[in-house]
Structure 1
Amino acid sequence: MKITTVLFDLDGTLINTNELIIESFLHTLNKFYPEKYKREDILPFMGPPLSESFSTVDIERINELIEEYRKFNIAHHDEFVEEFETVYETVETLKKAGFKLGIVTTKARNVVNMGIEFGRLTSFFDVVVTIDDVQNAKPHPEPLLLALKQLHSTPEETLMVGDNHHDIEGGKNAGTKTAGVAWTVKGRDFLAKFNPDYMLETMSDLLPIVGLKEL
């Protein structure tokens, strides 16, 4: 079936928030547990909801940790966030060609809106599903299926694009095609282990997959 709908993860996929996320975790963890956490300890925390990541640290202080993380993250958002090459042009091309576009993220809506605005992507997306909108985060299919319901699309005509195994597994669980992004902070080889249908070296690689001309 022809792809008519593309769902994207936000962090590490549409916008480069990797440094912001790493610095937010380092700030938070080292405030509560001085000198215990280093940069290389942060990668396993990236991807899941904050509640899940912080539950592995201290289940009694999850709310305190999340509050501190979000305070730092919002205050330093535009200082650390960057755009990825060809993302804006690719999403703009998809939109002009009539594709239905959505974002499915484990982030809270207020910070999601900051990221979408930073990436100049606000006008392109018909649906944005955040952690605030669902009971279950990716890789559970609920967020993807909610986005598809709002877009009036089916899994069979949909491609899920993301930088983490939660995105690939979430797509598979929802019945969509999947595309991993080779610029994932966890490394191309890590993401390839989850067998996405496609691996994008740059976002514009998406265009021929859905039947459009390359940039």
Structure 2
Amino acid sequence: MRKKCVIYDLDGTVLDTEEMNFIPLQRLIKEELKKDIEYEDLLKYRANAGLKTIEELGFKDIENSYNKWVRYVNEYEKGAKLYENFDKVIEEVSKRGVIQGIASSKMRKQYEIDFYDTGLHKYMECEVLAEDTEKHKPHPEPILKALELLNIDPSEALYIGDTESDMLASKEANVEFALAKWGCIDLDKVKADYYLDSPEDLLKILK
């Protein structure tokens, strides 16, 4: 497969952030909504922008509750970490002359906290984050915005994500989709053009 560009989702694809996000969210729900929600029942919000999750859960003061959640996340003892060997994969993709970018529902401030320490942001030629589009995945706007910024035709791009929302956004943008199986919890719901068992599999399909 010849592609000029790879666009990545972040959480569940490049970064393992599940525990650091949802255990603090359980704490916030307990404190403010006086509810106990099982960890597994919160995973359906993985593809959401953070503010949307807070809104859908029924918090009244959305902005303040979101800010408290962010504080709890950043105080949590386990921070974001790269999935194994993703640093080497991104470096190799760059060496092959393939343009790379981000299209994620993560807020920009959290993106900087979670991703900048890896040093890999220097390889990303665009970063489309939650504040950069009016609509979010499964709407295709974030991916289309990335293509616009990179001046890349949809046929020349590959989007990599881990959720049904990522798949739907990619399909609507007319971009081929590769599923990051290591982060996917609903394998039976996601139909991809390519299935990646490990980050290194990306190098096998980028001929």
Normalised by the size of structure 2, how large is the TM-score?
A: 0.93
* Contact map agreement 2:133 2:141 (CA 8 A) in 1: yes
Secondary structure of the residue aligned to 1:183 is: helix
Query: Alignment partner of 1:79: what SS?
Result: coil
The alpha-carbon distance between structure 1 residues 31 and 59, as it changes in their structure 2 partners (threshold 3 A), is closer
Query: How many angstroms does 1:54 deviate by?
Result: 2.2
Task: Tell me which residue corresponds to 1:196.
Answer: 192
Aligned to 1:21: 21
**Kept after mapping to 1: 8 A contact 2:59/2:65:** no
Q: Which runs of 4+ in 1 moved over 4 A?
A: none
Aligned-partner Cα distance in 1 for 2:190–2:81: 27
Q: Percent identity, please.
A: 26
- RMSD after superposition: 1.7
Task: Answer whether contact 1:47 1:164 (CA < 8 A) is retained.
Answer: yes
How much does 1:26 deviate? 1.3
Distance 2:2 2:12 in 1: 26
The alignment partner of 2:27 has SS state of: helix
Contact 1:90 1:203 in 2 (8 A): yes
**1:1-215, aligned counterparts within 5 Å?**
2-58=2-58, 60-76=60-76, 79-184=78-183, 186-187=184-185, 190-211=186-207
Q: Deviation per CA, 1:69-114, whole angstroms, max 9, x where unpaired?
A: 11212333x7332221121111100011111100111011011012
Find the aligned partners of 1:104 and 1:136 in 2 and give their Cα distance: 12
Question: Does the CA-based 8 Å contact 1:129-1:147 persist in structure 2?
Answer: yes
Q: How many residues align?
A: 207
Distance 1:72 1:205 in 2: 34
The aligned amino acid for 1:88 is: D
Q: Which runs of 5+ in 2 are unaligned?
A: none
Larger deviation, residues 59-68 vs 193-202: 59-68
Q: Is the 8 A contact 1:140 1:170 kept in 2?
A: yes
Matched AA of 1:81: A
Which segments of 5 or more consecutive residues in structure 1 lack a partner in the other structure? none
Cα separation, 1, equivalents of 2:141 and 2:121: 23
